[in-house]
């Protein structure tokens, strides 16, 4: 067991004390200690002896060979492990059982012993409830009712752009003031129809201080969308004012050009010749309500018509720079500076059917007006 045996007792004269020839005997307590050591060496040690007690048998008075009641060490508890049950899409397995227990035991110094124990297990189970199937009713039939067949015009389902709308825009309703003669000018358009097809009406004219109306241009057009931003227009134009009446056929395009320029180009034709008109404007937003709008209108003719004050080629221009403030989106007053000029054969025509212009062929006026739509 790792303990060294005591050396053999020699029997020789050197152990006999030389004290008068009398041999001394070993005292009784020392004899008991030696017998105890011999018994400890011959008996086997129990397997569960504490490691810290090894070697203590060699100490005097520590006789570990007696019958001593030593409490047995309880067995180590089983390792607790929890296994996660496998999950499937069709069922749910209950969690594993958890078992707890206690035990007591007795043992002898020879390494044998008996023990008893009691335990209690806790079990968790899942309860399944089967609900009956939902019975069909009038509100929830077993099969959905059949959908009625719907027939669309041109096989196009109804969307927002098939609705019918009506729109009126009075772009210019203004007074052009000067010291000699003031003018009242209007220009507007309206349309009725869908986003694809419309009936379009345009009208403009000028009334001078003598009550005479000039530049009367009234157009009735059929409008059809040819792209996202442009429409094709065709119809008739009538020049109705205080002067002679003229009738024209009209065809052109109108729409929103690159960088949000409102533009239109229209060609006119009749028995006397052809004519053309170019219009454009742009809204420059200084703020969301304060808007500066430059605008111009140019007219071209293939022949001269002195009675209507038009010239061959580039005949006249009407332009303006308007600053409006939209108190309401549908109504906005504005101030402006406008310019009206005549060119060609009628530029130096001093007198015609409506009299002599107060400011000559080129007329610059201060203007105040209102823009509205509904």
Per-residue confidence (pLDDT) for residue 65, from 0 to 100 = 47
| pLDDT for 1 | 47
pLDDT given at position 142? 74
| Angstrom distance (rounded) from CA 238 to CA 108 | 133
pLDDT in tens, 162-198: 788 999 999 999 999 988 788 999 999 999 999 899 9
CB neighbours of residue 341 within 10 Å: 15
Q: Which residue has the tokens 């304060």?
A: 290
pLDDT score recorded for residue 187: 97
| Predicted local distance difference test score (pLDDT) of residue 66 | 47
Q: Which tens digit of pLDDT belongs to each residue from 42-69?
A: 555 544 444 445 445 555 555 554 445 4
- Per-residue pLDDT at 22: 44
The reported pTM is: 0.57
Structural domains of the chain sorted by starting position, each given as residue range(s) with its CATH number in brackets: 165-373 (2.40.160.40)
Residue-wise pLDDT for 9-34, tens only, equals: 444 444 444 444 444 444 555 556 66
Give dist(CA 44, CA 69) in Å, integer: 17
Contact 64, 38 (CB under 8 A): no
Q: What number is the average pLDDT over the span 225-237?
A: 96
Contacts of 354 (CB under 8 A, 6+ apart): 208, 212, 214, 242, 243, 309
- Radius of gyration, alpha carbons of the chain: 60
pLDDT of residue 33: 60
At 80, is the secondary structure helix, strand, or coil?
coil
pLDDT for 123-142, tens place per residue? Answer: 677 778 887 777 777 777 77
For 88-125, the pLDDT digits (tens) are 444 444 555 444 444 444 444 444 444 454 555 556 77
pLDDT-based confidence at 313, cuts 50/70/90? very high
At 107, list the tokens. Answer: 């043992």
Q: How far is the C-alpha of 355 from the C-alpha of 216, rounded, in Å?
A: 17
What is the phi-psi region of residue 356: left when phi exceeds 0, alpha when psi lies from -120 to 50, beta otherwise? beta
What's the pLDDT score for residue 6?
Answer: 52
Residue 253 sits at the vertex; the CA angle it makes with 314 and 337, to the nearest 5 degrees, is 50
Mean pLDDT, range 223-228, rounded to an integer? 95
Tens digits of residue pLDDT in 64-85: 544 454 544 555 554 444 444 4
**pLDDT tens digits, 258-299:** 999 999 999 999 999 999 999 999 999 999 999 999 999 999
pLDDT of 4 higher than 80: no
Least confident of 25-29, 184-188, 309-313, 325-329: 25-29
């Amino acid at each position: 067991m790792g303990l060294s045996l005591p050396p053999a007792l020699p029997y020789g004269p050197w152990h006999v004390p030389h004290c008068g020839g009398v041999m001394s005997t070993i005292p009784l307590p020392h004899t008991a200690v030696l017998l105890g050591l011999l018994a400890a060496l011959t008996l086997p040690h129990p397997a569960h002896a504490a490691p810290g007690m090894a070697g203590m048998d060699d100490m005097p008075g520590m006789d570990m060979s007696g019958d001593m009641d030593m409490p047995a060490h309880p067995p180590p508890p089983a390792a607790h492990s929890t296994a996660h049950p496998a999950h499937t899409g069709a069922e749910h397995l209950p969690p594993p059982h958890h078992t707890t227990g206690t035990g007591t035991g007795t043992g002898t110094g020879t390494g044998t012993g008996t023990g008893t124990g009691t335990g209690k297990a806790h079990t968790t189970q899942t309860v399944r409830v089967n609900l009956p199937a939902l019975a069909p009713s009038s509100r929830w039939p077993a099969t959905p009712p059949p959908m009625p067949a719907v027939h669309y015009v041109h096989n196009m389902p109804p969307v927002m752009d098939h609705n019918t709308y009506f729109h009126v825009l009075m772009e210019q309703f203004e007074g052009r003031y000067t010291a000699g003669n003031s003018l009242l000018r209007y220009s507007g358009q309206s349309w009725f129809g869908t986003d694809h097809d419309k009936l379009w009406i345009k009208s403009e004219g000028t009334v001078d201080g003598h009550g005479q109306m000039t530049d009367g241009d009234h157009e009735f057009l059929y409008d059809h969308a040819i792209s996202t931003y442009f429409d094709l227009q065709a119809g008739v134009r009538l020049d109705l004012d205080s002067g002679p009446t003229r009738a024209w056929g009209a065809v052109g395009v109108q729409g929103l050009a690159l960088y949000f320029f409102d533009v239109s180009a229209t060609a006119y034709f009749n028995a006397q010749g052809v004519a053309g008109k170019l219009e454009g404007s742009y809204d420059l937003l200084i703020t969301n309500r304060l808007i500066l709008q430059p605008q111009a209108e140019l007219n071209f003719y293939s022949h001269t018509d002195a009675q209507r004050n038009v010239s061959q080629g580039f005949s006249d221009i009407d332009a303006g720079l308007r600053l409006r403030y939209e108190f309401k989106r549908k109504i906005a007053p504005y101030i402006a500076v406008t310019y009206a000029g005549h060119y060609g054969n009628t530029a130096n025509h001093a007198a015609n059917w409506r009299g002599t212009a107060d400011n000559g062929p080129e007329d610059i006026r201060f203007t105040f007006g209102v823009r509205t739509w509904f």
